[in-house]
């Protein structure tokens, strides 16, 4: 699992793009974002089949219009599917 972004420092009013990728799952992982999902945020989810044609990578892109409440507030990406006993997660902060 990996979180990508934001690639640069952002200021209030900027749009920060954060992507979460859950690699090599079967079935596809469902990705949920925690902490800070409020108006002004959008989520785009995609699933890509791996070269082995058995496992998939699940991607979720979160776009945030940065507000003062987002500064250094952890944003967590959580991935789970029916084959997993417990979800896996990664966190990042907007600075």
60 lies in which domain range? 2-92
Bridge partner list, 9:
none
31-48 pLDDT tens trace? 998 875 554 567 899 999
Read off the tokens for 84. 């997993």
CATH code where residue 7 lies: 2.60.40.10
Top pLDDT among 18 and 69 is at: 18
Domain count, the chain: 1
Residue with tokens 């974002």: 33
The three-state DSSP-derived secondary structure of the chain is: CEEECCCCCCCCCCEEEEEEEEEEECCCCEEEEECCCCCCEEEEEEEEECCCCCCEEEEEEEEEECCHHHECCCEEEEEECCCCCCCEEEEECEC
Q: Taking residues 51-66, report their average pLDDT.
A: 94
């Amino acid at each position: 699992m990996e979180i990508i972004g934001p690639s640069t420092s952002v200021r209030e009013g900027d749009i920060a793009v954060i992507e979460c990728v859950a690699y090599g799952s079967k079935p596809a992982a469902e990705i949920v974002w925690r902490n800070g999902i409020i108006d002004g945020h959008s989520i785009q989810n995609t699933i890509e089949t791996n070269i082995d044609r058995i496992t998939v990578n699940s991607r979720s892109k979160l776009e945030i219009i940065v507000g003062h409440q987002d500064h250094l507030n952890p944003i967590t990406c959580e991935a789970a599917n029916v084959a997993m006993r417990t979800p896996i997660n990664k966190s990042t902060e907007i600075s």
